[in-house]
Structure 1
Amino acid sequence: MKPILFFLAMLPALFSAQTNVSKLKKEYIKLLETSGYGNNAKAGQYYDVNGIKMYCETYGEGQPLLLIHGNGGSIVDFSKQIPFFSKHYKVIVADSRAHGKSVDKGNALTYEMMADDYAQLLQKMKIDSAYVIGWSDGGINGLLLSMRHPEMVKKLIVTGANLRPDSTAVQADVFKRVSANYAKFKEQFAAKKDKTDLDYKVLKYKRLLSEQPNINPKALQGIKVPVLVIGGDYDVIKPEHTLEIFRNIPQANLWILPNSGHSTLVVYTDEFNAKADTFFKTKFRSIKDRDREF
């Protein structure tokens, strides 16, 4: 199974709330196969980051905007965002550690490691700070980046992020399925004699999905930058957990998209892109006291 196929295998859950799931999924899969993002020699470059080779592509000019993909994904997942944002921003989009073209032969994989990778990537590119959009696991990385390297983040948007790997954060049926798949894969992995690099990579993905993250909600209170917290009302991440994230970030806005699963930025591409652009360009407004009544 190629990494992109691991991501595509999760698409039914990502699109689960939409009535036109089949059409949306087919269109998105075709786009992933034909867009060329993630395989653009003119835009791509490798960087030595924390002992790994991290592959990154850049598009456009302007304020730096870092896009961070999710578990089992890669640069190409943002095929619906790169064309829009590259008109006004310098879009920086990389394959996370152990994903896509990024080379990582180690056995360990944590969100903290990936957040630190992105901080060093920006440093290598001589970028002091950037706007950040993180999808799913990329949202987790974005939260950790803003906590561990606050000076590197101007503003942050996260969609489909979670703080812990349990049924208080993830829909119960999804959590049960993920846990069962992980247990089964570990058995198969242990029994397999001739393990491939892909076997080790998929084990890291599944372990990450099942055992992490482990972020104390109160730790989010240390985030100093404005954050737009997004989720679908039928997301695999429970809306009440998305609300928990929102409530623990001092300067946060909340946006729950109707009739949407985990792929908010795919299902609502135009609305998502426009909302993100406006959020980045508009001064954060805190509504307090009697102003809340208006």
Structure 2
Amino acid sequence: MLASALMLLTASASHAQEAQDFRKMMDTTQYGRNKAVGKYADIRGIKMYYEVYGKGEPLLIIHGNGGSINNFLFQIPYFAKKYQVILADSRAQGKTIDHADSLSYEMITDDLNGLLDHLKIKNANVIGWSDGGIEGLLLAMRHPDKVKKLAVTGANLRPDTTAVDPFLQKAVLAENIQAADSLKKMKTVPAGMKNQLKVMHLLSYEPNIKNEALRSITCPVLVIGGDHDVITTRHTLEIFENIPKAYLWILPNSGHSTPIFYRDMFNQVVGDFLAKPYRSIEKEGRFN
């Protein structure tokens, strides 16, 4: 719920109707609630809900904060034509309930690694949006053998205003504090509300990834951001500059929701990145 609100808050007036249509499509799409393919796996103390579509080389797609599998309703049919597309509701989100008291990006990342092990997948290409991008970066750092290529959009290394738009950073932090205060007054906290608070806390105070850690990533990475993203362009550039084998793509006239509002372009560019060999562009090659 939180992720959907944040994604669509970034929509401009010209995107207002499209954002409303997207909300309706998320409510009605089979993705994220497909009884024919939906399964649960016992992963690291939780029952993780996941769905798999298509055949071919494995492709793991990771949703953002408070999101779910259905956030990728525009990506699943496109990539399932060529790849075995794997999607899961992350810990404490969607249909994956988590009764623990704490939550971190590292926990979610290790869950995803566990899912790949469960599916007996040696390595996969990875696409991550927002928090999913953070987890994609962590997966490439913590489990480098699992990530063949990685595309991230709207990812950040830290939660402060050096990385996040100041207005939105302040709004998220205030909402988190207000929600925490409200829950303290409740004698019994429903599991769903407890999960929402953990997810909001995650968004407000994490991640805390050092640039030095990015330099350990060995797979090719496509770093994506909107020029008016929730994540500042200079921070997206910082991520790009600290990954040894990386491309950078900044979309003009775009906010945080590139997989929605620029879905055709997003799918094509990411698809080309996954399909073509990475090339190092140095010295005279920079003229090409």
User: What is the match of residue 11 of structure 1?
Assistant: 7
Q: Output the CA distance in 1 between the equivalents of 2:3 and 2:169.
A: 17
1:188 aligns with 2:182: yes
Q: Choose which of 140, 145, 149 in structure 1 pairs with 2:143.
A: 149
Any idea what the Cα deviations from partners look like across 1:219-272, whole Å, max 9, x if unmatched? 100000000000000000000000000000000000001111100111110111
Any idea what the Cα deviations from partners look like across 1:155-210, whole Å, max 9, x if unmatched? 00000000001000000111111111111111111122231112211110111001
Bigger shift: 95-104 or 242-251? 95-104
Any idea what the Cα deviations from partners look like across 1:7-42, whole Å, max 9, x if unmatched? 332234332xx4422111012112101111111111
Question: What are the equivalent positions in structure 2 for 1:64-143 lying under 5 Å apart?
Answer: 64-143=58-137
Q: Which runs of 5+ in 2 are unaligned?
A: none
User: What is the match of residue 170 of structure 1?
Assistant: 164
1:251 aligns with 2:227: no
Q: Output the CA distance in 2 between the equivalents of 1:40 and 1:80.
A: 16
Structure 2-normalised TM-score?
0.98
Q: Which runs of 5+ in 1 are unaligned?
A: none
How far apart are 1:137 and its partner, in Å?
A: 0.1
1:26 aligns with 2:58: no
Q: Output the CA distance in 2 between the equivalents of 1:72 and 1:124.
A: 24
SS of the residue corresponding to residue 234 of structure 1 reads coil
Any idea what the Cα deviations from partners look like across 1:113-150, whole Å, max 9, x if unmatched? 11101111001101000000000000000000000000
Letter in 2 for 1:110: S
Structure 1-normalised TM-score?
0.96
Identity of aligned residues (%): 51
Cα contact 2:153–2:223 (8 A) shared by 1:
yes
Letter in 1 for 2:133: G
User: What is the match of residue 58 of structure 1?
Assistant: 52
Q: Choose which of 268, 277, 285 in structure 2 pairs with 1:283.
A: 277
Q: Output the CA distance in 1 between the equivalents of 2:39 and 2:8.
A: 32
Q: Output the CA distance in 1 between the equivalents of 2:4 and 2:190.
A: 21
Q: Output the CA distance in 2 between the equivalents of 1:86 and 1:10.
A: 27
The count of aligned residue pairs is: 288
